[in-house]
């Protein structure tokens, strides 16, 4: 029975969101119903277009940042409603809900502003928490907030049928619109959430801060222009949706990476030993020939070749690509979070990563080298940089030439 509990909760959330909230509570007797002064667009083409434009713009804006979008939408509905109707507003319009959304959002984003000069390694748990909150809020918004908001908006402008044969049209159209809005939300959210996955991989606080600033600027400009002119908002929304649809495959691969990183981080899988028959799974980099960046698959050794096998979209038939180890020097690089398989770049005379393993294998670089028969184990590049900086600093402040004393005649 317990395995059906999540589906039951999701069903209740979705049902409570779609049901009209205005009919759930009566209007108090001591409150007069305010007179509706806005123009009625029910029987006009302009009304349908206005509802269509507002629906797409609001859905696109919420998808860019679900936690912030849910807070803005809830606060806007709360302050735009008369006191007599505030108790009957949707649940996300409760001041406690949108207040928590705003507070949690500002708390998480302060990491990239106030802590811009703190090493990213120290802030990585907060970066993971930021990604978890983005995924959790996106699930809630997709199941409850977007369907309810779209249904409510379209109900205001739904045209009345003039013929008996069109009696089902007013019902079918909002259902199609809700499904379409959820699809738009998913497409846009995947693209913007991919930035969170890039921040998880990045070792630099400055890069993560730059990503947050650019993302925030895009959201601010879009929201401002959409509020000034609905037609501009519609054009921008369609442009963003088309762009996000074009990069959906790329965003999907980055979301797979981010999800598995969070899973390994939260469950503590990186502290567990490897089983003797456990497969080595990881993600291709841009240097792996014939495979798209961040493709998830398994790496094995077949004679003198490394074989990377993956399933496109995680469900398609398995594909394989190979690298001959006899033609290049290979290595297993230790990582702060992700160990890697590297190959020597003869021109640059340094090793470059071709596969980044999951966080699950963080402390198993030596075992990876043994299983795959690689030539060497290499230190982490970031740690090597820290060590070089420390050695330089030590040389500037240390008294005397202790290590090189015998090389000089004093």
pLDDT of residue 239: 95
What is the separation of C-alpha 221 from the centre of its chain, rounded to a whole number of angstroms?
Answer: 20
Cα distances (Å, whole numbers) of residue 140 to 14, 77, 92, 134, 219: 9, 18, 10, 10, 20
The structure's pTM equals 0.77
What confidence category does residue 7 fall into, taking pLDDT thresholds of 50, 70 and 90? very low
| % the chain with pLDDT above 70 | 74
Band the pLDDT of 38: cuts 50, 70, 90: very low
| Paired tokens of 75 | 């606060």
Largest CA distance in the chain: 107
Give the pLDDT of residue 354: 92
The CA-based angle 295-263-13, given to 5 degrees, is: 105
Mean pLDDT of 54-75: 89
pLDDT at 9 over 70: no
Where residue 48 falls among pLDDT bands split at 50, 70, 90? Answer: low
Q: Is the pLDDT of residue 246 over 90?
A: yes
pLDDT band for position 189 (50/70/90)? very high
Q: How far apart are CA 137 and CA 65, in angstroms?
A: 9
pLDDT at 400 over 80: no
pLDDT at 12: 39
Residue 40 above 80 pLDDT?
no
Comparing CA positions, the residue from 175, 170, 203 lying closest to residue 386 is 203
* Token digits of residue 14: 């979705």
How do residues 84-112 score in pLDDT, each as one tens digit? 888 888 888 888 988 998 888 888 877 77
Residue span(s) of the chain under CATH 2.30.29.30 come to: 275-389
How large a percentage of the chain has pLDDT more than 90? 35
151: enclosing H helix or E strand: helix 146-156
Burial 53-79 (b: 16+ CB within 10 A, else e): bbbbbbbbbbbbbbbbbbbbbbbebbe
Q: pLDDT band at 328, cuts 50/70/90?
A: confident
What is the pLDDT at residue 55?
A: 81
153-185 per-residue burial string, b: 16 or more CB within 10 A, e: under 16: bbeebbbeeeeeeeeeeeeeebeebbeebbebb
Best-predicted range by mean pLDDT among 121-125, 294-298, 369-373? 294-298
pLDDT, mean of residues 176-197: 92
Overall average pLDDT of the 30-40 stretch: 42
Cβ contacts of 208 within 8 Å, gap of 6 or more: 112, 120, 127, 199, 202
pLDDT the model gives residue 44: 44
* Stronger pLDDT, 394 or 88, i.e. the higher one: 88
Q: With 60 as the cut, is the pLDDT of residue 61 above it?
A: yes
User: CA-to-CA distance for 363 and 272, rounded, in angstroms?
Assistant: 9
- If you average pLDDT over residues 252-261, what whole number do you get? 96
What does DSSP say about strands 340-345 and 350-357: parallel, antiparallel, or unpaired?
antiparallel
| pLDDT classification of 116: cutoffs 50, 70, 90 | low
φ, ψ at 358 (rounded to 5°): -70, 160
Q: Under CATH, what is the fold of the domain 275-389?
A: PH-domain like (2.30.29)
Nearest CA among 321, 306, 318, 308 for reference residue 371: 306
DSSP per residue over 229-285, as a string? Answer: -HHHHHHHHHHHHHHHHHTHHHHHHHHHHHHHHHHHHHHTGGGSPPPTT--EEEEE-
| pLDDT of 358 above 90 | yes
Q: Which one, of 39, 47, 43, lies nearest residue 160 by Cα?
A: 43
**How far is residue 152 from each of residues 85, 89, 93, 156, measured CA to CA in Å?**
15, 11, 14, 7
Beta-bridge mates of residue 357: 282
Q: Once rounded to an integer, what is the mean pLDDT over residues 301-312?
A: 93
Which of 24-33, 84-93, 186-195 is modeled with the greatest confidence?
186-195
């Amino acid at each position: 029975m317990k395995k059906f509990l999540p589906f039951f909760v999701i069903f209740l959330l979705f049902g409570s969101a779609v049901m009209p909230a205005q009919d759930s509570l009566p209007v108090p007797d001591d409150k007069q119903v305010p007179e509706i002064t806005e123009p009625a667009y029910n029987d006009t083409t302009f009304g349908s277009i206005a509802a269509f434009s507002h629906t797409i713009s609001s859905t696109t804006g919420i998808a860019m940042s679900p936690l912030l979008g849910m807070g803005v939408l809830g606060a806007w509905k709360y302050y735009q409603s008369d006191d007599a109707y505030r108790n009957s507003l949707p649940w996300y319009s409760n001041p406690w809900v949108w207040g928590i959304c705003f507070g949690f959002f500002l708390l998480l984003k302060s990491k990239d502003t106030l802590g811009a000069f703190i090493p990213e390694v120290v802030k990585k748990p907060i970066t993971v928490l930021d990604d978890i909150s983005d995924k959790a809020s996106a699930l809630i918004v997709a199941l409850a907030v977007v369907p309810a908001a779209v249904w409510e908006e379209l109900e205001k402008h739904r045209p009345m049928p003039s013929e008996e044969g069109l009696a089902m049209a007013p019902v079918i159209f909002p259902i199609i619109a809700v499904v379409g809005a959820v699809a738009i939300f998913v497409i846009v959210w995947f693209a913007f959430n991919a930035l969170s996955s890039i921040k998880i991989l990045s070792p630099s606080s400055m890069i993560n801060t730059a990503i947050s600033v650019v993302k925030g600027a895009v959201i601010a400009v879009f929201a401002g222009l959409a509020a000034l002119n609905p037609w501009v908002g519609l054009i921008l929304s369609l442009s963003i949706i088309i762009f996000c649809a074009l990069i959906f495959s790329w965003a999907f691969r980055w979301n797979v990476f981010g999800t598995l990183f969070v899973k390994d981080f939260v469950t503590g899988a990186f502290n567990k030993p490897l089983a003797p028959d456990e497969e080595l799974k990881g993600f291709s980099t841009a240097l792996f020939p014939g495979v798209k960046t961040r493709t998830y698959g398994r790496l094995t050794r077949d004679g003198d070749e490394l074989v990377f096998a993956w399933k496109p979209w995680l469900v398609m038939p398995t594909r394989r690509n190979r690298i001959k180890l006899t033609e290049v020097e290979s290595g297993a690089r230790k990582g702060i979070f992700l160990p890697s398989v590297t190959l020597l770049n003869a021109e640059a005379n340094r090793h470059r990563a071709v596969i980044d393993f999951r966080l699950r294998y963080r402390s198993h670089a030596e075992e990876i080298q043994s299983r795959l028969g690689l030539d060497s184990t290499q230190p982490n590049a970031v740690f090597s940089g820290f060590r070089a900086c420390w050695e330089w600093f030590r040389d500037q402040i240390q008294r005397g030439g202790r290590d090189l004393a015998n090389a000089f005649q004093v």
